């Protein structure tokens, strides 16, 4: 099978079975199978790949079980599957050629809760590889990212070099829940040079961005106020009103002062109190999301939100529980690696345009891995692999030009091998 | 069949098939069947009984259809059923004996969304007449009220008198949605003397309250804010935030000034905005409930709520839709009728205690019918029929001592016949 | 000099020199002089009359000094004046005739910050006894109350009885600042029967109310938020915004839930933050006032206000200082004394109408003295002495019909002597 | 008298008599006198210099009169003074040499409400030219700016050129009240090249900044809510609470969404409601200040503030009056002029360092004049004239190194003459 067909087939297989964050059970097993076929020297699954205590936004057991059972019915590799039980998805694979530099590649593997289009004009539909998990879809190209990871590891493994090459198949990027846990895992400390990659991002096939930067740091909180329920007509004074507490909190959260050091953001969603109107609410929930142009700005906002929540609860004699369900920091690409990727990109025929740096609109938790490497004295860059898209990311008709797959593997493997030489 | 058994059997049959407000399709048909058997002179159903434009809190078509189809499968009287389609439930029945006084009785017929207990200690469960509509229950005694209505009409019809006796089988009391519509219907104008009746209310069997008073007037609003949705990180300024509008409204609604003239109440429930936290909310909903010791106080609160809602919407460039989904006013019992009921009560052997007046905690929309009669120069009283209850109203183990059924029919029919003599 | 002229002259003298709460320096001296003339057995001034630690709303030293110096220039009784320095105004006078019952009378002595009318139609102006302290006025009749106190003591002292008669000349009633302190003083414990008196209150001359009731309990708080000031354009994040804290507090204070047990009130006044708009406010102040139909209701409101203030401060990283500057409780008149006053009133010729009980609109801190007596097993009543007024209390043209002065002294002294007999 | 002494004497004379915005009566007269001495061809005062309808933040008549009378007592040039009555301060002076280019210079002339230090270490104190208007001070160097204006006009007038040179002596820069009015006046339309100048700004003597940029656009609003006053205990429902309206407005003003296009700011100051706490407030005032990195961002904030104010008023049945009392826009210096000033600066011996561009922290209303010129197709730059300061601007010990005066005149006159050649 020609190399390009291998990549296309891999991508289409993963496209057909999208799994959301911390529920990538089958995906994890299938990656392991492929790594075994390629002949990776080390394959670490679940708790051996990520620090499970640092996972953010892990769903409840019922939800995890449902997806675990689905995966079980689709594979006979229960030996691998069992390692992932309880939301312990993700893989780290190593090609080990002894002493020498250590290069890493991060590939995120989770999907989105989007219902994929079944229109004839949508290639995955017309070509027969549309999502089989109704309501879920690889609508941000992580199927390609898995393919980049496996394809690059295969190419590197088939080459000669000294040192180690590690691929981080990271779960739960969409929830900003997996990057922190993987960066806290046991494998990042070894890495001297880290590459990340993202397909698409409005760049056409043939364009490569050597360094993506500027993602706003983000923190997302789950908030639950608990009060006490009484009849609103008979004894309003005896209640402890969770709706009033929530309202006081939201009211003041939007009023957190702007910051001299740069842009900040705040928003509240998923607001809910189910009390009947003749009853004082004893329970009210919401999610709060803050962003900052830097990690420090995000933390300023997050700490201010905590203060608003706590004092709003006190004000109305309620209690409040908060948990971080997703978080990302700000990290930018290192100049030296951007130079290297640019120069290698210019030497690849299928790459018609190399952009040195571009701004990433959305938040990304590859930044945790970048930070870990950079703080160890290493370098990191987050590379954009152009892929002409019919429609934007996170839409039901998102698709990528599969010509981008071998281009991505070329730039990533050439860069890795150059660093390993 | 002895009279008392007749009442018990009726009550148990209605108890087994509870239907919530505006969905009393089978209940309406079954009342009509019984009225035909008794031989009422006039039977008016649905639009012939209530002013359908004045109905409050009518559920959406899907919900109505679901209950209508259930009822259809349980009766062959499609001739009656068809008249109720679209939530046109309720019956007015008349025994017409020519010129003379006109006496009315109001009986409400809807049930509650409460899951009835299946404990052995709960008589309807152990005796086999527990609710067959899972999740719904006659937990406030309206099964008894229907029985009072039918039993009293039967007794009156079997007696000699001159004038007319009318029973108003009113839908949707629990939602405070039917009283206004029935009072706006074509039959209340004829009434000189109106009796209402409520079973239980913490009075034991054998006690009768000649006049229940003091229910807080109440208005319940459905509120929907519509704004505009944009990405909260990329362009927060371009959104129109329905959550901020809702929060500004709620915040100020709780701050509506107290009133010199008496007690007022306000509460907010069913708060909901489903936006993802990375998106500015374009939709947020809630229900607001206000009460007042008088109709005017309720209206003061309701008007203030409207003002808060409208200006909160403007403040955040949103729109707001409100609809009244339930409303009741304040009306008290007339002294002359209280005197009459007291004296008749004292003459009935099974009545061991007559209380002249007592306060009704909850809100009640019988007040609309009382007002219509009183404003026409007639008189009205709302009578409490004691019935020893194992647990309180609106609980899964609510039940009534069935000895109260013949007592209720006695006091109501004796009073009606006295007024008709 | 005939008795009535004596009362009129006294009242006019006090009317000419009104002093506001805790600044009744000359008033105290003048009362003492008169008591000495009458021949009271004991005269207790300032710290010997009130518990100085329990005084509420005492002005700052500069303000106290200003009024003290004014008084100094108007009297040569520096021996008495010195006892009042620092706002220690007020007198307790006792006529002691050995063992026997102990009867008390409370007379409040402070004036209001109202500019008295100089219109010809205003009797004090045309008759030449208008206020000489510009901007201050006895506009609530406390000049008459002092006169009642002195006149009654004189009459009682001239009579034969066994027991003691005590008059409490209480400072600072208008601020609700003196009642608590006088009730905590050393003289109230002895009292078996306490009489209070208020002139006017929309009752014409010749009417007496045997028991005034129903004053709302009240608490008034001084509130100061302290934050941190920074340039609002350059570093808004480094401030701690006292205006935002104050706004969050006020916003939620108005939303304190209504109470099932009766009427409550809340209001905010004297709001102030003087920061330039280009600077985050580091200082913001306000006064909050709560009321309740009962002492408990007032306390429920006051405690809720404290909670709002504290958590609003925390929310915005500010601190908040609060102090009670005025407070009154709810106490009603005792039935037995109301009976006695009524029957004595009916026997006095100049009294044409005796009302048993009436409701007092405003708040009054005579309630603290009533409570102390009642809790000791004694009885108390607050008596209304009708006095036809040209205009309402607290207006620049308030005045009283001086015919009410001897009536007041009659009912008070007759009642006292009856209790002492 | 040597040139430098002339400049120093002028600056010290103006320093001794500081007048705040729209009250620069003596200052205006004194400038006119000096212009006459120098021999300007045209001298336009007050309404002939500014569009009086466009003045922002003009004080009330009483305040204007007070300063006008002070000025009157200090000059015998009542002919000039009369033209300024009512706050019509400011002068435009023209040296007209016929056809040719038209160059303008803007010099602002108002002082600050700061109490000047009388410490020996403060040169104006020790050298005897400290402010004689206690509480007011030239603490931002506008005395130097007047000196730059007069000195430059004198130098230009003594030179040969063709065209016109105009100096705009602008009132009320500190209030951001005069720039708009002067730009709307009759003289700006003629200008091809506009120079502005600011002394100090933390640059040492000898440094010149060729283009100052980046001042945040700013708008400052005076806000007055009017409601209705009633007794807060007796009839709270009948009030219309201006404090509640103000609180609702402030609360939501701080929550105005951040903007994608750049930095915004918002703050509230001067909050005040004087109601007694037992009375619902019928009057509450505040000032609101918004800023934006661009004029559009400021306008976005200002429009959002208006919306919050209007709907908060409606919410509580109040009315609200707003007036803009100060405003500035964003305008940056033109590249061509920056080049010219840089190159001329490099040729002046006393200038040791030329900075091409620097950021201005504070807001400035020279931007209105810059905009008018730029929109007419002309060019403008705002030049920083370094002057070693002992302490920062707007402090009681602010002072400038007077060596900076001739440097300022050199760079300004050389640039003007170059443009006029």
Query: What is the DSSP code (8-state) at residue D55?
Result: -
Average of per-residue pLDDT across C143-170: 97
In order of D7, D33, D142, D404, the CA distances from D13 in angstroms are 10, 13, 12, 17
Distance from CA of A126 to the nearest CA of B (A): 31
* The pLDDT of residue C153 is above 90: yes
Q: Would you place residue D1 in the very low, low, confident or very high pLDDT band (cuts 50, 70, 90)?
A: very low
Subunit contact D265:A258, Cβ cutoff 8 A: yes
Tokens of D89: 């301060």
Taking all residues of chain B, what is their mean pLDDT, rounded to a whole number? Answer: 96
Query: What gap in Å lies between CA A199 and CA A213, rounded to an integer?
Result: 15
Mutate to test the interface with B, among A271, A325, A327, A330 (most CBs of B within 10 A): A271
Higher per-residue confidence, C10 vs B4: C10
H helices present in C265-361, as ranges:
295-315, 335-346
pLDDT over threshold 60, residue A2: no
Tokens 């300063």 correspond to what residue?
Answer: D67
Distance from the B227 Cα atom to the nearest Cα atom in chain D, whole angstroms: 14
Q: State both tokens at A15.
A: 């496209």
CB contact under 8 A, D258 and A264: yes
What chains are in contact with A, requiring at least 3 Cβ pairs below 8 Å? B, C, D
Indicate the residue of D238, D252, D314 with minimum beta-carbon distance to B307: D314
- Contact partners, residue C217, CB within 8 Å, separation at least 6: C291, C292, C293, C294, C295, C297, C298, C299, C328, C329, C330, C363, C367
Which residues of B fall below an 8 Å CB-CB distance to A? Answer: 216, 218, 220, 232-234, 236, 243-244, 246-248, 250-251, 254, 265-281, 284, 287-289, 291, 361-363
Q: pLDDT tens across C246-260, in order? A: 999 999 999 999 999
According to the model, what pLDDT value does residue C1 have?
44
Cβ burial of B37 (10 Å; 0-12, 13-18, 19+) is exposed
Provide the 3-class DSSP secondary structure of residue C381: strand
What is the dihedral angle through the alpha carbons of B254, B257, B259, B263, rounded to the nearest 10 degrees? 20
Average pLDDT of the residues in B54-74? 97
Quick check: C4 pLDDT over 90? no
Nearest residue in chain D measured CA to CA from B261? D235
Token readout for D179 is: 């720039």
Radius of gyration of chain A (CA): 23
Q: What is the ipTM of this complex?
A: 0.89
Chain C positions touching B266 (Cβ under 8 A) are 258
B98 SS3 class = coil
B42 membership: H or E segment, kind and range: strand B42-45
- Which residue of chain B is at minimal alpha-carbon distance from C258? B265
Size of interface B-D (CB pairs under 8 A): 67
Q: Do B314 and D300 touch (CB under 8 A)?
A: no
pLDDT digits (tens, 9 = 90+) for B181-205: 999 999 999 899 999 999 999 899 9
Residue A214's pLDDT is: 81
Please tell me which chains touch B, using 3 or more CB pairs under 8 Å as the contact test: A, C, D
- Stretch A170-187: mean pLDDT, rounded? 96
Contact D379, D234 (CB under 8 A): no
Give the minimum alpha-carbon distance from A104 to chain D in angstroms, rounded to a whole number.
35
Q: Compute CA distances B130 → B272, B397, B404, whole Å.
A: 34, 10, 19
Q: Which of D419, D420, D407, D417 is nearest to D197 (CA)?
A: D407
Measured CA to CA, the distance from residue A356 to residue A350 in angstroms comes to 17
- Residue B384 pLDDT exceeds 90: yes
Is B272 in contact with A273 (Cβ distance < 8 A)?
A: yes
Task: Assess whether pLDDT exceeds 70 at residue D20.
Answer: yes
Residues in chain A: 421
Render the burial of D308-317: b for 16+ CB within 10 Å, e for the rest: bbbbbbbbbb
Q: If you average pLDDT over residues C6-18, what whole number do you get?
A: 97
Token digits of residue D47: 């309404």
Contacts with B254 from chain C: Cβ below 8 Å: 254-255, 257
Please say if the pLDDT value at position B1 is more than 50: no
Contact A232 B265 (CB under 8 A): yes
Q: Which of B251, B255, B267, B268 to mutate to test the interface with C (most CBs of C within 10 A)?
A: B255
Which residue is closest to D264 within chain A, CA to CA?
Answer: A258
CA D131, D137, D139: angle at the middle one, nearest 5?
130
d(CA A370, CA A195): 9
Burial of B213 (C-beta count, 10 Å sphere; 0-12/13-18/19+):
middle
The reported pLDDT for the residue numbered B360 is 85
Whether D391 and D398 have beta carbons less than 8 Å apart is answered as: yes
pLDDT band, residue D373 (cuts 50/70/90): very high
Residue C295 to chain D, least CA–CA distance (Å) = 15
Secondary structure of D318-337 as H, E, C letters: CEEEEEEEEEECCCCCCHHH
Interface residues of C toward B, Cβ cutoff 8 Å, are 251, 254-255, 257-258, 263-266
| Chain center to CA of B223 | 22
Write the pLDDT tens digit of every residue in B320-361: 999 999 999 999 999 999 999 999 999 999 999 999 999 987
For residue C247, what are the β-bridge partners?
none
Burial class (CB in 10 A: 0-12, 13-18, 19+), C136: buried
CA dist., res. A365 & res. A179, Å (int): 5
Distance, in Å, from the CA atom of B392 to the CA atom of C245, rounded to the nearest integer, reads 44
In degrees rounded to 5, what are phi and psi of residue B170? -90, 130
- Put simply, the answer to whether C271 touches D236 (Cβ < 8 Å) is no
* Rounded distance between C-alpha atoms, residue A358 and residue B281, angstroms: 30
Cα D260 from chain centroid (whole Å): 30
Q: Looking at beta carbons, which residues of chain A come within 8 Å of D257?
A: 254
DSSP β-ladder status, A207-213 and A379-385: antiparallel
Interface of chain B toward chain D, CB-CB under 8 angstroms: 234-239, 241, 244, 248, 251-252, 255, 257-261, 280, 300, 307-308, 310-312, 314-317
CB–CB contact D255 A258 (8 Å): no
Query: Residues 6 or more apart from D66 whose CB is under 8 A from it?
Result: none
In sequence order, what are the beta bridge partners of C354? C208
Per-residue pLDDT for D361 more than 80?
Answer: no
Give the minimum alpha-carbon distance from D262 to chain C in angstroms, rounded to a whole number.
13
Which of B416, B332, B408, B412 lies closest to B10 in space, CA to CA? B408
- Report yes or no: C170 and C54 within 8 Å, Cβ to Cβ: no
Q: How confident is the model at residue A312 (pLDDT cuts 50, 70, 90)?
A: very high
Give me the mean pLDDT over the A3-27 stretch: 95
**B230 → chain A, closest CA residue:** A267
With a CB cutoff of 8 Å and minimum separation 6, the contacts of D134 are: D115
CA distance D283 to D243: 8
How many of the other CB atoms lie within 10 Å of CB of A240?
21
pLDDT in tens, B226-254: 999 988 988 999 999 999 999 999 999 99
Strand partners for B164: B96, B102
Specify the 3-state DSSP secondary structure of C239: coil
Paired tokens of B101: 């006084």
pLDDT digit string, tens, across residues B11-54: 999 999 999 999 999 999 999 999 999 999 999 999 999 999 99
| Residue in A closest to D265 by C-alpha | A258
* Chain B partners within 8 Å of C254 (Cβ): 254-255, 257
Which residues of chain B lie closer than 8 angstroms to C258, CB-CB? 258, 263-266
Q: Residue C2: is its pLDDT beyond 60?
A: no
Query: Which runs of E-coded beta strand occur in C65-152?
Result: 91-97, 102-108
Question: What are phi and psi for residue C238, nearest 5 degrees?
Answer: -90, -5
| Cα D325 to Cα D365: distance, rounded to the nearest angstrom | 13
Q: Judge whether B46 and B161 are in contact, CB under 8 Å.
A: no
Residue C403 has pLDDT above 90, yes or no: yes
For residues A319-332, give the mean pLDDT. Answer: 96
Please compute the mean of the pLDDT values over residues D315-341 and round it to a whole number. 97
C124 within 8 A of C18, measured Cβ to Cβ: no
Quote the minimal CA–CA distance from A250 to chain C in Å. 12
Q: Which of C178, C87, C58, C151 is nearest to C410 (CA)?
A: C151
With CA atoms as reference, the chain C residue closest to D265 would be C233
Residue-by-residue DSSP string for D167-212: EEEE--TTTT-SHHHHHTSSSGGG-SEEEEEEE-TTPPTTEEEEEE
pLDDT in tens, A346-359: 999 999 999 999 99
Comparing B1-5, B138-142, C371-375, the range with the smallest average pLDDT is B1-5
Q: What is the pLDDT of residues A52-90, one digit of tens each?
A: 999 999 999 999 999 999 999 999 999 999 999 999 999
| pLDDT, tens only, B124-182 | 999 999 999 999 999 999 999 999 999 999 999 999 999 999 999 999 999 999 999 99
Other CB atoms within a 10 A radius of the CB of residue B76 amount to 8
- Report in angstroms the alpha-carbon separations of A194 from A89, A174, A351, A367, A412: 21, 20, 21, 11, 11
Beta carbons of D201 and D327 less than 8 angstroms apart: no
State the pLDDT confidence band at C217, using cuts at 50, 70 and 90. very high
Shortest CB distance from C268 goes to which of D220, D243, D250?
D243
Which tens digits make up the pLDDT trace of B362-373? 789 999 999 999
Q: How far apart are CA B135 and CA B128, in angstroms?
A: 17
Residues in D closer than 8 angstroms to C284, CB to CB, are: 271
Please report which confidence band the pLDDT of residue B2 belongs to, taking 50, 70 and 90 as the band edges. Answer: low
Under an 8 A CB cutoff, do C307 and A300 touch?
no
pLDDT at A1: 43
């Amino acid at each position: 099978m020609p190399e390009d067909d291998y990549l296309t087939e891999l991508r289409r297989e993963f496209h057909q079975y999208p799994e959301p964050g911390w529920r990538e059970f089958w995906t994890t097993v299938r990656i392991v199978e492929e790594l075994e076929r390629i002949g990776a020297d080390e394959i670490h699954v679940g708790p051996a790949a990520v620090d499970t205590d640092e996972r953010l936004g892990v769903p409840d057991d019922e939800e995890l079980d449902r997806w675990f059972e689905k995966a079980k019915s689709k594979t006979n590799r229960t030996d691998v599957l069992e390692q992932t039980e309880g939301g312990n998805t993700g893989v780290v694979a190593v090609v080990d050629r002894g002493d020498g530099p250590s290069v890493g590649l991060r590939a995120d593997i989770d999907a989105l809760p989007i219902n994929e289009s079944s229109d004839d004009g949508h290639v995955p539909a017309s070509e027969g590889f549309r999502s089989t998990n109704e309501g879920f879809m690889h609508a941000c190209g992580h199927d390609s990212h898995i393919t980049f990871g496996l394809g690059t590891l295969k190419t590197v493994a088939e080459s000669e070099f000294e040192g180690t090459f590690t691929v981080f198949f990271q779960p739960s990027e969409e929830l900003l829940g997996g990057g922190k846990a993987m960066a806290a895992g046991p494998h990042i400390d070894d890495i001297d040079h880290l590459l990340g990659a993202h397909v698409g991002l409005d760049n056409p096939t043939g364009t490569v961005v050597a360094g993506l930067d500027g993602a706003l740091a983000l923190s997302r909180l789950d908030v639950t106020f608990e009060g006490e329920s009484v009849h609103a007509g008979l004894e309003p004074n005896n209640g402890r009103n969770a709706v009033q507490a929530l309202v006081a909190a939201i009211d003041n959260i939007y009023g957190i002062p702007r910051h001299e050091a740069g842009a900040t953001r705040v928003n509240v969603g998923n607001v809910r109190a189910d009390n009947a109107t003749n009853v004082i609410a004893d329970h009210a929930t919401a999610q709060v999301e803050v962003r900052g142009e830097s990690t420090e700005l995000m933390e300023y906002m997050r700490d201010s939100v905590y203060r608003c929540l706590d004092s709003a609860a006190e004000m109305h004699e309620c209690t409040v529980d908060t948990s971080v369900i997703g978080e990302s920091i700000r990290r930018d690409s290192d100049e030296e690696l951007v130079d290297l990727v640019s120069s290698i990109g210019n030497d690849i025929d299928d790459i018609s345009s190399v952009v040195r740096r571009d701004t990433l609109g959305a938040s990304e938790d590859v930044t945790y891995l970048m930070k870990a490497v950079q703080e160890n004295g290493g370098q990191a860059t987050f590379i954009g692999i152009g892929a002409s898209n019919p429609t934007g990311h996170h839409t039901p008709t998102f698709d990528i030009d599969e010509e981008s797959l071998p281009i991505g593997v070329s730039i990533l493997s050439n860069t890795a091998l150059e660093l390993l030489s």
